[in-house]
Amino acid sequence: MLPVVMAGRLGVSLAFTGSIFVLLTAGMFLAGPFYSYLMDTYKRKYICLLSFAIMLLVNAACLFVQTPVEFMLLCLIHGISFGLATTTSITLAIDLTNPGKRSASNVVFGWTSRFGMMMGVAAGIAVFMYRGFDEVVYLSAAVGGVGILLINMLYVPFRAPIGSKLCTTDRFLLGRGWIPLLNMILIALIPSVLITLVPDTYKCVVLMGYSIPFFAVVGTGFFISAVFLKLLFKEDNFLGQIISGLVVMILATALLAFPVAELTTAPGAVLLGIGMGLVTPEFLLMFVKLSQHCQRGTANTMHLLSWETGISIGIAIACYTTAQIPESLPVLYRFCLAMAVLSLLFFLLVTYPYFKKKRFR
């Protein structure tokens, strides 16, 4: 909700506030070279708790922002703290998992992150519609507080420092992951553009007289794909699962871009969630299989960076388009369709051949 709310409160354009969100990703990249040093030098659990708490303070500070510069600084700090919180969470998840099940742990962590994002968007839209922006911030603080309590409950065994350099790409950038990163950015552009379509009529799916947030329906599809995934695909059907997921996303965005009836919004939302549920876990495994055994954390962070980069760029594109083009909704839906088609072509022609050549396992 921040792009629209801050545009009104600060007296600036929606295009300006939307573009500021790129600073979230910039903050992650600025702090990234220091992730490994911080997690090796200090207790990872406390680093995670501290960065999580800073995120919540930044969210609360949005209620008191008075100038665009203050908002820009908050976005930058948010990106730094978010990147550190998620990277340490990934590392803790790997450390606390038996070595033989770490790939499965990576997938579960990535899946819950995506599901949490969709439910967060849906809850934020619903609360904003019925209660206002301040209540959205309070809800965010409450959910974040529960997250901090859960992390605090973890028992993390002591690990002796290994002497990481102050500035390194370890736990930050995977050298072999640049091609999948570009492909993942294209995929992430699709939901991120849809996130920013703020007017109430565009955010809701009407079923049986009830208005349901669009991303709540998307999250339902995402959940369905996870529950029934193993019934449709064999465990090693990596190529088929990604192709199927991208084809489903093409169909979903086509229903939104060229609706044959008002009811196509709900099927489009469900199919979008199913498609993302099929694609994103396999892309995470692709990053992991491109990494060496000691680079699992780096692979997970690279996957996260690709997703968040696509989300930030998509929000900026949607806000700029909405501010500049009257009746921009059909244009943005068709942009999503183009990105879905491009994602499939890029995967077939570039990413998969590269993956077969460069994979370690």
DSSP string, 106-140: HHHHHHHHHHHHHHHHHHHHHHHHHT-HHHHHHHH
Phi-psi bin for 11: left (phi > 0), alpha (psi -120 to 50), beta? Answer: left
Q: Quote the Cα angle for 96-236-238, to 5°.
A: 95
Helix (H, G, I), strand (E, B) or coil at 205: strand
d(CA 286, CA 299) in angstroms, rounded, equals: 9
DSSP calls for 254-305? HHHHS-SSGGGHHHHHHHHHHHHHHHHHHHHHHHHHTS-GGGHHHHHHHHHH
Identity (one letter) of the amino acid at 206? V
> Which helix (DSSP H) or strand (DSSP E) does residue 103 occupy?
helix 102-130
Residues 243 and 224: their CA atoms lie apart, in Å, by 18
Tens digits of residue pLDDT in 219-241? 889 988 877 776 676 666 788 88
Q: What is the mean pLDDT of residues 53-64?
A: 91
| Between 141 and 157, residue with greater pLDDT | 141
- Check whether 261 has a pLDDT greater than 90: no
Amino acid at 255: L
The predicted structure's pLDDT at residue 105? 82
pTM of the model: 0.88
Rounded Cα distance between 81 and 207, Å, is: 39
Q: H or E stretch including 211?
A: strand 210-213
pLDDT of 184: 95
Q: Could you say which architecture CATH assigns to the domain 1-356? A: Up-down Bundle (1.20)
Two structure tokens written together for 184? 């993942």
* Closest C-alpha to 317, from 186, 157, 196, 178: 196
Closest by alpha carbon to 24, among 64, 62, 80, 63?
80
Domains of the chain by residue range? 1-356
State both tokens at 18: 């939307």
- CB neighbour list of residue 20: distance below 8 Å, 6 or more residues apart: 68, 71, 72, 75
**What six digits make up the tokens of 327?**
């009746």
Q: Work out the percent of the chain whose per-residue pLDDT is above 70.
A: 92
pLDDT of 3 > 60? The answer is: yes
Query: What pLDDT was estimated at residue 91?
Result: 83
Residue 94's pLDDT band (boundaries 50, 70, 90)?
A: confident
Given a cut of 90, whether residue 50 has pLDDT beyond it is yes
Q: Which amino acid is it at 243?
A: I
> Are 218 and 191 spatial neighbours (Cβ–Cβ below 8 Å)?
yes
Rounded mean pLDDT of 26-37? 86
Q: What is the pLDDT of residue 160?
A: 63
pLDDT tens digits, one per residue of 281-325: 889 889 988 888 777 778 888 888 899 899 999 988 988 888 888
On the question of pLDDT at 202 being above 70, the answer is: no
Q: How far is CA 245 from CA 58, 81, 214, 242, in A?
A: 35, 32, 19, 5
Bridge partners, 213 (sequence order): 204
Q: Is the pLDDT assigned to residue 201 strictly greater than 50?
A: no
